[in-house]
């Protein structure tokens, strides 16, 4: 073997920009076997034709394609790279990343909007009248309080189910009570995205039509506190929707959280 026609591991590292440790790792997992290994020194040597192979491996690394899948993009004799298949698969992964990033950006925008909304309470505690748009809520029957172990366990299970059913999720969640005549129902709720929601809706999803609410900030973590906050509304006979959610301000005091309690207004269009 004429080693003068080959590249040392240092040479191929310089020409491809791939670290020597990575080249050795690729050898260990069987996707980049040196063209020649000196039996006396143990030095690895590579052929110039292997440079495109290293570049293809690096493309997998950049696209987060697991390297144990790299043989799928090679012919059985390991002499040809299936570039088209690699590009197609890489494009699919890149599209998925873009969708995930866009979803995170939407979430950050929602958090920013929530912070701006919560900051309004810096100037008054309420009540304030707020018109909320049509909302879809994932609901779980629940009797407990916000910020409890039971709440967080059920909330996490709810998120898992929303993800399993491939429903988009919003940042808002909390507790909701429905007052219909003498009947009362209480739920843990998680807001989900309306776009792309299946028809008919899953049985656990409640559509809350656009409604007007009276809203108050409170330090009391108890949705039943709504009766004391809105005595005039509770003295009136109409179907009510009451919601409790946590407020997140720009300077969030996690040891002393604040909450918002809402009560739908009569004629507010809740139509449940």
Residues 75, 132: one domain? no
Q: Are residue 76 and residue 118 in the same domain, yes or no? A: no
241 and 118 within one domain: yes
DSSP lists the bridge partners of residue 135 as 208
Euclidean distance between CA atoms 213 and 268, whole angstroms: 7
Do 129 and 206 fall into the same domain?
Answer: yes
Same domain, residue pair 126 and 251:
yes
Q: Are residues 67 and 114 in the same domain?
A: no
Same domain, 115 and 71: no
pTM: 0.72
What is the rounded CA–CA span in Å between residue 28 and residue 22?
10
Write down the pLDDT at residue 123. Answer: 74
In this structure, are 29 and 126 located in the same domain? no
d(CA 13, CA 245): 56
> Contacts from 78-81 at CB under 8 Å and sequence distance 24+?
81/52, 81/53, 81/56
Q: Dump pLDDT digits (tens) for 105-151.
A: 988 998 999 998 888 887 776 788 999 999 999 999 999 999 899 99
DSSP 216-238: EEES---GGGHHHH-HHHHTS-S
The answer to whether residue 223 sits within a structural domain is yes
β-strand partners of 188: 140, 175
Whether residue 91 is contained in a domain is answered as no
Tally the domains of the chain: 2
Tracing tokens 């670290």 back to the chain, one arrives at 19
- What distance in Å separates the CA atoms of residue 78 and residue 31, rounded to the nearest whole number? 9
> Mind listing the pLDDT tens digit for each residue in 202-226?
889 999 999 999 999 999 999 999 9
Return the structure tokens found at 185.
């129902």
Sign of CA dihedral 87, 89, 93, 99: positive
């Amino acid at each position: 073997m004429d080693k003068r026609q080959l590249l040392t591991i240092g040479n191929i590292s310089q020409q491809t920009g791939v670290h020597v440790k990575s080249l050795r790792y690729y050898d260990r997992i069987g996707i980049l076997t040196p063209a020649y290994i000196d039996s006396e020194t143990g030095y690895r040597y590579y052929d110039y034709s292997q440079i495109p192979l290293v570049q293809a491996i690096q493309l997998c690394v950049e696209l987060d394609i697991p390297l144990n899948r790299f043989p799928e993009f090679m012919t059985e004799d390991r002499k040809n790279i299936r570039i088209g298949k690699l590009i197609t698969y890489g494009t699919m992964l890149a599209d998925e990343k873009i969708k995930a990033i866009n979803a995170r950006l939407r979430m950050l925008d929602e958090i920013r909007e929530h912070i701006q909304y919560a900051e309004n309470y810096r100037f008054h505690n309420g009540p304030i009248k707020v018109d909320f748009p049509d909302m879809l809520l994932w609901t779980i029957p629940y009797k407990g309080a916000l910020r409890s172990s039971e709440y967080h366990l059920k909330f996490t299970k709810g998120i898992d189910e929303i993800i399993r059913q491939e429903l988009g999720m919003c940042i808002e969640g909390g507790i909701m009570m429905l007052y219909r005549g003498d009947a009362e129902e209480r739920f843990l709720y998680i807001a989900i995205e309306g776009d792309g929601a299946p028809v008919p809706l899953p049985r656990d999803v409640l559509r809350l039509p656009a409604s007007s609410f009276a809203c108050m900030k409170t330090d009391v973590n108890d949705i039943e506190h709504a009766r004391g906050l809105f005595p005039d509304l509770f003295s009136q006979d109409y179907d009510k929707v009451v919601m409790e959610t946590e407020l997140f301000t720009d300077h969030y005091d996690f040891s002393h959280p604040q909450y918002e309690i809402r009560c739908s207004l009569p004629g507010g269009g809740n139509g449940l």
